[in-house]
Amino acid sequence: MSWGAAPGGIKVEGEIDWVRKSTPPGKRLKDQYAIVTGSSRGFGRTIALALAEEGANVAIHYAKSAQSADKVADEVRKFGVDSFSLKADLRDFDQVKSLADKVWAKWGRCDILVNNAGETAATMMSWRELSTEVVEETLGLDVKGTLYSNHEFGRRMLDQQRSGAIVNIASNVIVTGSPRSPIYAAAKYGVIGITKSYALALAPFVRVNAVAPGYMDTDSLRARKDWTDRRRKWIVDHTPARSIGKPDNISHIVVFLSSQDSFHMSGNTVICDGGFSMPAA
């Protein structure tokens, strides 16, 4: 990320004048280096491709399928940028440190971190079905994984580069709550706390923001037992945009928060649910 000092004006001690340096249209992330966690499939893959389309080199993180991750890396390289895949269990701080080591060893820097990996507690159909296993899985990846990644990548961005952008993936359950899975809502509230805390801790050189999608038309949503035609119709009818979100729509918000187009935003949460939750200002 490149910044410059703005000329003129009255400044107070410690104030920094940032100036956005433009990049060509369609190349907002040219010569940037990014990693997207959980990007071997689904929404993470869509984000990785959207970053690559804007000129970023993108590392593909995976937890289970090396074959899927390598396939996404091949797709990314078709945009004329660099890509490689890396495996790590984000719930293990030592593995997150190793993940960062590999990125810096390969590229010497990391400009963008997108924390997409997370558990939705998809097997849980009601709050009455609470299990310690689901609690551990969901909090482990959504909270611990996001915290460790923000900490390790953010620390290096701040100390070694004095620049960077982090985007954490939350959910509109931070507004609506979730009677299906309170643990999922609690985990995403944790993501917001991490976002705000590291936006302060890494300031002023590293920006940290969050994206909070609503329902997204993905294979995982369509596979859920509780996702019936009737429920889909109810959601669409109660969404001002009259549609279920598509990953392609929301990935471009991630690109915006990764780029200098959002250079004066930090600690923000952008809700992308077609107006379904309509949070108060």
Q: Dump the DSSP string for the chain.
A: --EEPPPSS---TT----EEPP--TT-TTTT-EEEETT-SSHHHHHHHHHHHHTT-EEEEEESS-HHHHHHHHHHHHTTTS-EEEEE--TTSHHHHHHHHHHHHHHHS---EEEE------TT--SGGG--HHHHHHHHIIIIIIHHHHHHHHHHHIIIIIS-EEEEEE--THHHH--SS-HHHHHHHHHHHHHHHHHHHHTTTTEEEEEEEE--B--HHHHHSTT--HHHHHHHHHT-TT-S-B-HHHHHHHHHHHHSGGGTT--S-EEEESTTSS----
Domain membership of residue 75 (yes or no) is yes
Q: Give the per-residue pLDDT at 224.
A: 82
Question: Is 196 part of any domain?
Answer: yes
Q: Does residue 148 form part of some domain? A: yes
pLDDT tens for each residue of 70-106: 999 999 999 999 999 999 999 999 999 999 999 999 9
Span 158-176, pLDDT tens digits: 999 999 999 999 999 999 9
Mean pLDDT, residues 246-254 taken together: 93
> For residue 44, what pLDDT is reported?
95
pLDDT score at 227: 86
**Is residue 7 in a domain?**
no
pLDDT tens per residue across span 111-128: 999 999 988 777 878 888
Structural domain including 45 reads 26-217+247-272
pLDDT tens digits, 177-211: 988 888 999 999 999 999 999 999 999 999 999 99
pLDDT attached to residue 162? 96
Q: Residue 53: inside a domain, yes or no?
A: yes
* Residue 87 placed within a domain: yes
Mean pLDDT of the chain: 90
Of 13-27, 47-61, 120-134, 238-252, give the range with the top mean pLDDT. Answer: 47-61
- Higher per-residue pLDDT: 160 or 218: 160
Query: Looking at the domain assignment, is residue 136 inside a domain?
Result: yes
Report whether pLDDT(52) > 90. Answer: yes
Residues designated catalytic: 184
Q: Is the pLDDT of residue 15 over 90?
A: no
When divided into structural domains, the chain yields a total of 1
Tell me the average pLDDT across 31-40: 96
pTM (two decimals):
0.90
Whichever domain contains 78, its CATH number is: 3.40.50.720
Structural domain includes residue 107: yes
What pLDDT, on a 0 to 100 scale, did the predictor assign at position 173? 92
